[in-house]
Amino acid sequence: MTTDTPETTASPIVRLRSVSKSYRRGGQIVPVLEEITFDIAQGEFLALMGPSGSGKSTLLNLIAGIDKVDSGAIFVGGVEITALSESELAIWRGLNVGFIFQFYNLIPVLTAFENVELPLLLTPLNRRERREHVEMALRVVGLADRMDHRPGQLSGGQQQRVAIARAVVTDPTLLVADEPTGDLDRRSAEEILHLLERLNRESGKSVIMVTHDPRAAEQARTVRHLEKGFLADAAS
C-alpha cells in the first residue's frame, strides 16, 4: 500500500521491504525502525511526520544511502541500494540523490557558486559545463545575482535556496529534505516549500521531506506518520 493518489499507478521510485534498523547505545540495542515495508511512487511529494525520536531521519538516511539497514531491502529507481558496496553506494548517491538539511550545511569559506559546484567536481563535466549547470541551478532558485556571496552574507532562506541549488545541480531523480524549513521564519519557509513543490511538479523530482510543521506537510501530496519505528496510517 502506498497512497490513494493517482501516482500509485507509476512504478515506485522507492520500495522498502521489511527494513529494520537499530542503534547500539552503551551496551544496549535500541530498535529504531521495525520491519517497515512501503512504496513511494515516482513523482511523489511525501511529507514524513512523527514525534521526535520516531526514526524519521533514520528512515530518510537509509533511503538516501547515507546509513545502512540491519535487515531488509531498499530499492530506489530499480536499484537495490542495500546490495551495493560502500564505494558503489557513494557513486550511486552522487548521481541520484540531492540532500537538503535543516541547517543548510553549506561550506562557509566558499561562495554560493562554489558550494553549488561541489557535487559536480565528482562528475566528468569540464569547467565550462560546470559553470552552465551551476548558473542554471542558481537561476532556478532565484539567486543568479548572489553567486559570489558567501553563506554568511546570505539570509537563512537564501542559504537554504543555495542548498537546494546544490541538491539539484546534478539533476538527481530523488530529493530528500530533513526539516528543510525548521530553521526558517514563516515567509522564507513558504518560499522554500514553494520551490520544492515546483521542482516536484515542473521538473518531476520525487521529494521526501521530513517535517514537524503541519503547514509544510500541507504542501506535500501525501503525508505519512511514523510512530516509534512503525508507519501509522496514511493521511493526506
Q: Is 181 in the site for Mg ion (CB under 5 A)?
A: no
Q: Is 28 in the site for ligand ATP (CB under 6 A)?
A: no
43: left (phi > 0), else alpha (psi -120 to 50), else beta?
left
Q: Is 58 in the site for Mg ion (CB under 5 A)?
A: no
Assigned C-alpha cell, 71: 535487515
Min separation Cβ 107 and Mg ion, Å: 22
Min separation Cβ 208 and Mg ion, Å: 13
Assigned C-alpha cell, 156: 537563512
Burial of 131 (0-12, 13-18, 19+ CB in 10 A): middle
Of 49-57, 93-101, 145-153, 196-204, which segment contacts ligand ATP by CB under 6 A? 49-57
3-state secondary structure of 31: strand
Which residue in the block uniquely carries the three cell numbers 521531506?
Answer: 209
CB 195 within 8 A of CB 161: yes
By CB under 6 A, name the one of 54, 96, 159, 170 that touches ligand ATP. 54
By CB under 5 A, name the one of 54, 57, 170, 206 that touches Mg ion. 57
Assigned C-alpha cell, 122: 565528482
Of 57-65, 81-89, 107-115, 118-126, which segment contacts Mg ion by CB under 5 A? 57-65
Of 9-17, 50-58, 89-97, 159-167, which segment contacts ligand ATP by CB under 6 A? 50-58
* Farthest CA pair distance, the chain: 53
Binding site for Mg ion (CB under 5 A): 57
Binding site for ligand ATP (CB under 6 A): 23, 25, 30, 32, 50, 52-58
